[in-house]
Amino acid sequence: MRIVCIGGGPAGLYFALLMKRLDPRHQITVVERNRPYDTFGWGVVFSDATMDTMRRWDLETAEAIEQSFSHWDDIELRFKGRRIRSGGHGFVGIGRKHLLNILQARCEALGVELRFEQDVDSDLEFPDADLIIASDGINSKIRTAYADTFKPDIVVRPNRFIWLGTPRRFEAFTFDFQRTEHGWFQAHIYQFDEKTSTCIVECPESVWRAHGLDTASQEESVAFCERLFAETLDGSPLLSNARHQRGSAWLNFQRVVCEQWWLRNTNGSHVVLLGDAVHTAHFAIGSGTKLALEDAVELVRQFQRHGDTPEHIPEVLAAFQEARRIETLRIQNAAWNAMEWFEVCGSRYCDQLAPEQFMYSLLTRSQRISHENLRLRDRAWLEGYERWFAERAAAPDAVGTPPMFTPYTVRSVTLKNRVMVSPMAQYSAVDGIAGEFHLVHLGARALGGAALVMAEMTCPSPEARITPGCPGLWNDRQEAAWRRIVNWVHDHTDARIAVQLGHSGAKGSTRRGWDGTDLPLPESAHEPNWPLVSASPQAYLPGVSDMAREITRREMTLVRDEFAASTHRAIAAGFDWVELHCAHGYLLSSFISPLTNQRTDEYGGSLENRLRYPLEVFTLMRSIWPQHLPMSVRISAHDWVEGGITPTEAVEIARAFRDAGADLIDCSSGQVSKRERPTYGRMFQTPFADRIRQEAGIDTIAVGAISEADHVNSIIAAGRADLCAVARPHLANPAWTLTEAARIGYTPIRWPKPYERGKPQLEAGFARAATVITPSSIDGFDAKRGNQ
């Protein structure tokens, strides 16, 4: 085949040499705009796992690279006058220039033609090529020329960064955070040869402008960074090799994702994007070079499988894109999490967190390194951090207590751990009365180790129910039924029990979940439909749901007073905690979201106005509810619809409830509009709890796809939330908390006395399994050595 690689970066060069090794008869040319053996940039990093892959595909190249490596295991944080170090992280660094020189020399040795100082404006300049590799970088001309086909999604991020070097060795990958009068700067520093280190300095745009760096020359910017990080640099200068750039050397990162990766041009040549031309990963996890090299490997692998002749190119490229798309998105998602952490750390973490917790948050920023993965990397450091955390949580035994099993106190209520059973609709009440099912359901989970069980949304009137099977708290029989359940939980367990009060609004008068979620009740004399009200007229399922009319001011007062009456009954029933449901498109949520509130009175328009009625309800309930007992509010922190509530507004919503007396915000999202497009994934709603906790200054409950002790430990240890509400895992296993304790080897946890005989067996089973199956990787990354 005749192959042309446009761009002599890692992707193009490595593909060229691997393809030449596959069949020396291939005529391969790499076209590069720079001079021979010349490049810009400082060091690059990738993991030991990437090196293992390179050894398998071309040992000679791998050995040449390894001879020039700087290898380190430690990450060091310099923050607020402290230096904290954690080991076992396994990075390797090499100068970008030297890496490319090695790849260039290897290409030449194998017979690849290298053409330097040749700018390529179009793939059509190579009409005889069977295959054209567009590895021309983040500003790819080829991708731009065929944007309608490749459909790139390019997002320019807000932080500014400058890529510098310093003639100083650093023993660890060092993160240095410095506060100025205008905000925080951070430096990412890592060694890449015997005497030189990369130093990337980063800050928010607003801080960058406030210091006048938008008008500073490159020399002035370098001098500014030298002064700011003088203590860490210890007298060493900062150097720039970006003199070829016009104006400022400060850049904005661009995240690139392409829908299509290849095409056939008008010459009949196949063109495929590789490396930064098709996807980028933020330097916060150091995976850009890794992605480029692994693109090259996978493309050659597909030629091996399908045949490396021109007629096989279409099926090779289709298979390549399919094979790489998921892995690439996985890395990009992790990089996105890490990138966002650095973008907001100055406003969200630097001032709020102690150095110990800041270090934990830094290490787990990508959500790819978990609590137990940290234990594999550096057991001593993690156990020291667990002791630090447990001491501040007033754990009875600070030694060996994982964060999820530390106590939590709010007002007069102390929870034994950080796990709560999320309120989950059971549709099993009769006439609003919680019966035997609810006693068993809540009682079993209270016995199962969770610190708090929260009953499903309980309604202040018959018309407030979602379905005829939903419980209520509007009459004496219902109050007595709840009192029986509460007393049972208090008498037989050491868990606390809460009730969530809410009104269904436009989402009411529907069938039980298993009969058709959100579908209106069929016409029946036994279970008739009831009229629906909402902030504004709406049908939750257009064309399907009954139309809700706009609630009147008189009705708003009536509903508010019904919530107050139910609060009195919750006190009489003996609940330890009450939560107000202001999420998921129900009545109070419909006032908050602009998607469902089009009122023109004082309860519509601005966020302040839209919050007015929910706050009236909450304030009245708080005045009734005992001051020594806690109250929480569940909100939808993101509507996942353009024009709906955003996480930024969720912070304002949380502040309003905080000021009205709320103790915690239960951070859910969505279910306000069927037009929603959520981004699902493990712990996918935790970032909302994290942001609200740090920015609104109120404790939070994280909820959503939290299914392992590792998740809970990571969330609580990093300070992303104060409690974790676990839903579906508790449906599958009422003793989920006890089971997870055994799984991670936390044996001091107490079991109910009648069940104690099962505890040693469960713990021994998990212990045996751990000795037989030792995970060598966490989510695809080498357990000890993988980068973030």
Three-state DSSP state, 494 = coil
Cβ-based burial of 206 (10 A; exposed 0-12, middle 13-18, buried ≥19): middle
Three-state DSSP state, 538 = strand
Three-state DSSP state, 766 = helix
- Please pick, among 586, 603, 613, 746, the residue that the annotation labels catalytic: 586
Q: Is 586 a catalytic residue?
A: yes
For residues 613 and 620, the answer to whether their CB atoms sit within 8 Å is no
For residues 628 and 582, the answer to whether their CB atoms sit within 8 Å is no
Query: Which H, E and C letters describe 345-400, residue by residue?
Result: HHHHCCCCCCHHHHHHHHHCCCCCCCHHHHHHHCHHHHHHHHHHHHHHCCCCCCCC
Cα–Cα distances in Å, from 90 out to 87, 366, 785? 8, 16, 4
**List of E strands, 627-785:** 631-636, 664-668, 699-703, 723-726, 777-778, 781-782
Cβ-based burial of 387 (10 A; exposed 0-12, middle 13-18, buried ≥19): middle
Strands 70-72 and 91-95: antiparallel
For residues 476 and 514, the answer to whether their CB atoms sit within 8 Å is no
What CA–CA distance (Å, rounded) separates 700 from 627? 19
DSSP secondary structure letter of residue 470:
S
**List of E strands, 477-522:** 496-501
Both tokens assigned to 772? 């037989």
Those residues whose C-beta lies under 8 Å from the C-beta of residue 471, and which sit 6 or more positions away, are 429, 432, 433, 434, 438, 455, 456, 458, 459, 478, 482
Residue of 457, 390, 384, 380 lying closest to 426 (CA atoms): 457
For residues 51 and 786, the answer to whether their CB atoms sit within 8 Å is no
Residue of 23, 38, 11, 287 lying closest to 133 (CA atoms): 11
What CA–CA distance (Å, rounded) separates 636 from 232? 43
Main-chain phi, psi angles of 707, to 5 degrees: -135, 0
Alpha helices in 597-701 (DSSP H): 607-610, 612-624, 647-659, 686-696
Both tokens assigned to 7? 């761009």
Give the catalytic positions in this structure: 586
